[in-house]
A and B are shown apart, each in its own frame.
Chain A
Amino acid sequence: MSFFVAQLLTGLANAAALFLVAAGLSVIFGVTRVVNFAHGSFYMLGAYLAYSLVTRLGTGLAEFWLAVLLAGLAVGVIGMVVEIVLLRRLYRAPELMHLVATFAVVLIVQDVTLALWGPQDLLGPRPAALEGGIIVLGERVPVYDLVLIVLGPLVLGGLWLLLNRSRWGILVRAATEDREMVGALGIDQKWLFTSVFFLGAFLAGIGGAVQLPREPANLMMDLNIIAEAFVVVVIGGMGSIGGAYLAALIIALLHAFGIVILPEITLVLVFLVMAVVLVARPWGLLGRPEAITSAPAHGVGPEARWQGRWLVPTFAASLAALALLPLATDVYGLQVTTEVLIFALFAVSLQFIIGVGGMISFGHAAYLGLGAYGAALLVHHLDAPMELALVAAPIAAGVGALVFGWLCVRLSGVYLAMLTLAFAQITWSAAFQWYAFTGGDNGILGIWPSPWAADPVIYYYVTLLLSSAAIAALWRARFAPFGYALRAARDSELRAAAVGIDVRHTRWLAFALAGTAAGLGGGLYAFLKGSVFPDVLAIPVSVDGLVMLLLGGVNAVLGPLIGAAAVTGGRIALVAETELWRAVLGAVIVGMVLWFPDGIAGTVRRGFGRGRR
């Protein structure tokens, strides 16, 4: 009983920070329709800023709360700057651009934080008055936890008052309902959007600051919290503050109780709760159905048709050139090219979902990773040969994609994006936490190719053969009736259903197909590196895939190949050149999103003035 109470209280305390972040995310989305990936970064900055402030101001009770408040305000201002400099120019852009642009902010904030505060975890001093614990039903509960438990409902109530009783709040709610109308009534939307960003970032900053006495400020806070916040928002209902609180409680309690039973169980529980909620109420517990946006994931225009005609000759010529490459380069060059080939397959498979299918996946790394781990685990635990492992890799990823995809295809737009990210994060956590099976962050070492393929030249040919075959198969499917059905569902769901296309099934199958292809890439990747680490499943890999698509053009058939070469090659060069490669990559993404939203291929195409239409 006492144990139960202790876990209950811990869970409730954990819910506070999660709720603050999710509420901010939700408020921002409600008004601006931007899913702010950088919200986790705001949370992390809140913690770091609070650390610096508390250590300067002292640990008195008043000083502590002053530090929390100042940290929140500072983060709020940072949020405003992000809105004014970046997002204000993107409101009319597709959702994909919002996600990628705000992820660029994540990258930049990571490097700035690293530069300012260093790599070590920073545990903030707890205010003296909130030290110690009190005994509740025989268990000692930290006083600070009780403070957080009270804080959640307090903020919820405060937000409710702000949104329902102030003129500003009424405008915010009106804008959430109908943005055009608010604009038509002569309300200055710019100011409204900026102030909403301030509020959202402020909440996240406070969330990070109050977490400081419980959890040291660290550089992984941003992506850890954002994945959970996405889960909370999807479960609670986008735009619903009450839903965010309810869902934050559910998730935090699942964690609190799951962790004492079996940590891995927690992930399964979170997944199951999400599954149940999304099947019963796809718009979330307290969300409303009509809030779901079903706008196309990106500009849908005529498919570039010349690519169909030139595809085969271009592909054949590239293959011939790649086949001759070992004559022209050294082992290092071949290994880099092998990696490019793997990521080309990864990007083409992602394009199948995003470009052809119109489903924004923000967690495609999950399938690369499932393939890599599928192969590596087979080798590690069962001593399987490379050939068998390379068969198992796409199967493992395909099965994963079938399971996750079954839920994902029930959603669309940003909900789908958040859900795919959450699933990727679940697989990442599983790989990261399950030491006994996956080796956790020590990874799995010693995954080498069979002796006949051990020579880098041979392995290069193996990769060239398998990935180009898989790419060709995906292209074939794209121009087959199946690919057209998928595109039809993307262009007009109504029309597609009315001609007899089962939209959900078609998307589900596409999801599985793309996941399978990415899994093959994952298997090849494991044997190329000789090892597998949880990084292969992590969010940055998913975002790399998106950047590849954006660079190459979301719909251009050859785009993913160009993008994969540019991103993989660029990254390898960048990491060798500078410590601040994340910030540089972030800046490149921001520049691309703002000035070249059509990608390299699109910009080139426009440059040549495709006046034939």
Chain B
Amino acid sequence: MSLLAVEGLAKAFGGVRAVAGIGFMVQPGEMVAIIGPNGAGKTTCFNLLGGQLRPDAGRVTFGGRNITGWAPPALARAGIGRTFQVAQVFRSMTARENVQVARAACRRRLLSLLRSLAGTDTAEADRLLDAVGLAAAADQPVTALAYADLKRLELAVALAGEPILLLMDEPTAGIAASERQALMALVRNLVAARGLSVLFTEHDMDVVFGHADRVIVMHEGALLADGAPERIRTDPRVREVYLGGSLDDVGIAAGGQA
């Protein structure tokens, strides 16, 4: 059975149908990329899955449960982790505290008034920070971290919730090209080690074709293609959408950046 099943998902803003009845699946342990030109509806689709928006129509099933329209905290408890296009971290805290809060949330300890957060789950938080390569920065206030490190920290925060599925909206946006592959390799390893599934959107075609097991192409809010990277790379419709059917200057075929 697939882990995530999306059927007929739709969302309109005013008269604009940002997502127009899309459907796809994610299997356990799979890393799936959603790509598409700007305005294809990727982020809207992501926000529908992550609970930031409520769909107008459609159905989302996760692990056999209907989770359509659930709010983010409920999704988190159900096992869906999330990272954002612009890294969202708790700016007034240290790296370790960021992970500790997420652990406390996962373990339903948020109403605890008497114990001190500093002493809870310290070893676990440090393990997670170590896993994303931030062990040395544990005591740093996050305002002192470089942006690429914030992306890593956000990953650790998302992992602290023990997700089964990780939704990553442009995981490499805003970081240097040289660091993108390293970050995605890290995600890849974590997926393997923890048996996670990952659904991510991405603009960098090197990242997409280097790391996705499967690629979903969106165009004008709908599903255009869904298949293995090699098939997508050669799909004429995808070339048409990205290249307007003429130019050969960007990405898909050459495997460069779109």
A480 to B97, CA, bound (A): 11
B71 to chain A, nearest CB (A): 7
B114 at the interface (CB under 8 A from A): yes
Q: Which residues of A are found within 8 Å of B72, using beta-carbon distances?
A: 494, 497-498, 500
Q: Do A497 and B100 touch (CB < 8 A)?
A: no
Q: Do B141 and A484 touch (CB < 8 A)?
A: no
- Given known contacts A479-B118, A491-B89, A499-B106, what 15 new A-B pairs fall within 8 Å (CB)? A303-B92, A473-B113, A481-B110, A484-B97, A484-B104, A494-B72, A494-B88, A498-B76, A498-B158, A499-B105, A499-B157, A499-B158, A500-B76, A500-B102, A506-B110
A498 to B94, CA, bound (A): 19
Q: Do A499 and B115 touch (CB < 8 A)?
A: no
Smallest Cβ-Cβ distance to B102: which chain A residue: A499
A358 to chain B, nearest CB (A): 10
9 contacts between A and B (CB under 8 A): A483-B117, A485-B101, A485-B104, A485-B110, A491-B90, A497-B76, A498-B88, A499-B160, A506-B110
Q: Which residues of A are found within 8 Å of B177, using beta-carbon distances?
A: none
B82 at the interface (CB under 8 A from A): yes
Smallest Cβ-Cβ distance to B167: which chain A residue: A498
Q: Which residues of A are found within 8 Å of B178, using beta-carbon distances?
A: none
Q: Do A480 and B117 touch (CB < 8 A)?
A: yes
A613 to B92, CA, bound (A): 13
How many residues in B have their beta carbons less than 8 Å from beta carbons of A? 46
A488 at the interface (CB under 8 A from B): yes
B2 at the interface (CB under 8 A from A): no
Q: Which residues of B are found within 8 Å of A492, using beta-carbon distances?
A: 88-91
Q: Which of B50, B105, B142 contacts A485 (CB 8 A)?
A: B105
Chain B, residues 106-137, CB within 8 Å of chain A (1/0): the string is 10011111111110100000000000000000
| Most chain B beta-carbon neighbours within 10 Å: one of A473, A477, A495 | A495
| Most chain B beta-carbon neighbours within 10 Å: one of A476, A495, A499, A613 | A499
A487-B110 contact given A302-B143, A494-B88, CB 8 Å threshold: no
A323 at the interface (CB under 8 A from B): no
A246 to B188, CA, bound (A): 57
Q: Do A477 and B113 touch (CB < 8 A)?
A: yes
A165 to chain B, nearest CB (A): 26
A400 to chain B, nearest CB (A): 21
Residues of A within 8 A of B (CB): 300-303, 305, 308, 473, 476-477, 479-485, 487-488, 490-492, 494-503, 506, 509, 555, 613
Q: Do B113 and A491 touch (CB < 8 A)?
A: no
B233 at the interface (CB under 8 A from A): no
| Most chain A beta-carbon neighbours within 10 Å: one of B71, B101, B118, B154 | B101
A553 to B84, CA, bound (A): 32
B93 at the interface (CB under 8 A from A): yes
Q: Which of A473, A491, A497, A613 contacts B93 (CB 8 A)?
A: A491
Q: Which residues of A are found within 8 Å of B154, using beta-carbon distances?
A: 495
A498 to chain B, nearest CB (A): 4
Q: Which residues of B are found within 8 Å of A502, using beta-carbon distances?
A: 73
Q: Do B89 and A481 touch (CB < 8 A)?
A: no
Q: Do A495 and B88 touch (CB < 8 A)?
A: yes
Q: Which of A300, A481, A487, A501 contacts B115 (CB 8 A)?
A: A481
Q: Which of B91, B109, B110, B113 contacts A300 (CB 8 A)?
A: B91
A500 to B109, CA, bound (A): 11
A496 to B160, CA, bound (A): 13
A485 to B115, CA, bound (A): 13
A502 to chain B, nearest CB (A): 5
The number of inter-chain residue pairs (CB within 8 angstroms) is 126
A120 to B141, CA, bound (A): 57
Q: Which of A483, A494, A500 contacts B84 (CB 8 A)?
A: A494
Closest 4 CB pairs of A and B: A500-B76, A302-B141, A495-B88, A497-B72
Q: Which residues of A are found within 8 Å of B59, using beta-carbon distances?
A: none
Smallest Cβ-Cβ distance to A302: which chain B residue: B141
Q: Which residues of B are found within 8 Å of A479, using beta-carbon distances?
A: 116-118
Q: Do A500 and B90 touch (CB < 8 A)?
A: no
Q: Do A495 and B89 touch (CB < 8 A)?
A: yes
Q: Do B91 and A500 touch (CB < 8 A)?
A: no
| Most chain B beta-carbon neighbours within 10 Å: one of A482, A487, A498, A502 | A498
A506 to B108, CA, bound (A): 12
Q: Which residues of B are found within 8 Å of A303, using beta-carbon distances?
A: 92-93, 141
A348 to chain B, nearest CB (A): 15
A492 to B101, CA, bound (A): 13
List which B54-91 residues lie within 8 A (CB) of chain A: 71-73, 75-77, 81-82, 84, 88-91
Q: Do B161 and A500 touch (CB < 8 A)?
A: yes
Q: Do B92 and A487 touch (CB < 8 A)?
A: yes
A499-B117 contact given A300-B91, A488-B101, A494-B84, CB 8 Å threshold: no
Q: Which residues of B are found within 8 Å of A499, using beta-carbon distances?
A: 76, 101-102, 105-106, 157-158, 160-161
Q: Which residues of B are found within 8 Å of A305, using beta-carbon distances?
A: 94, 141
Q: Do B50 and A498 touch (CB < 8 A)?
A: yes
Smallest Cβ-Cβ distance to B99: which chain A residue: A499
A301 to B92, CA, bound (A): 5
A142 to chain B, nearest CB (A): 47
Q: Do B101 and A484 touch (CB < 8 A)?
A: yes
A484-B117 contact given A494-B88, A499-B101, A613-B141, CB 8 Å threshold: yes
B103 to chain A, nearest CB (A): 9
A506 to B117, CA, bound (A): 16
A501-B141 contact given A481-B117, A484-B104, CB 8 Å threshold: no
Smallest Cβ-Cβ distance to B110: which chain A residue: A485
Q: Which residues of A are found within 8 Å of B142, using beta-carbon distances?
A: 302
Smallest Cβ-Cβ distance to B109: which chain A residue: A481
B52 at the interface (CB under 8 A from A): yes
List which B169-217 residues lie within 8 A (CB) of chain A: none
A235 to B144, CA, bound (A): 42
| Most chain B beta-carbon neighbours within 10 Å: one of A300, A484, A490 | A484
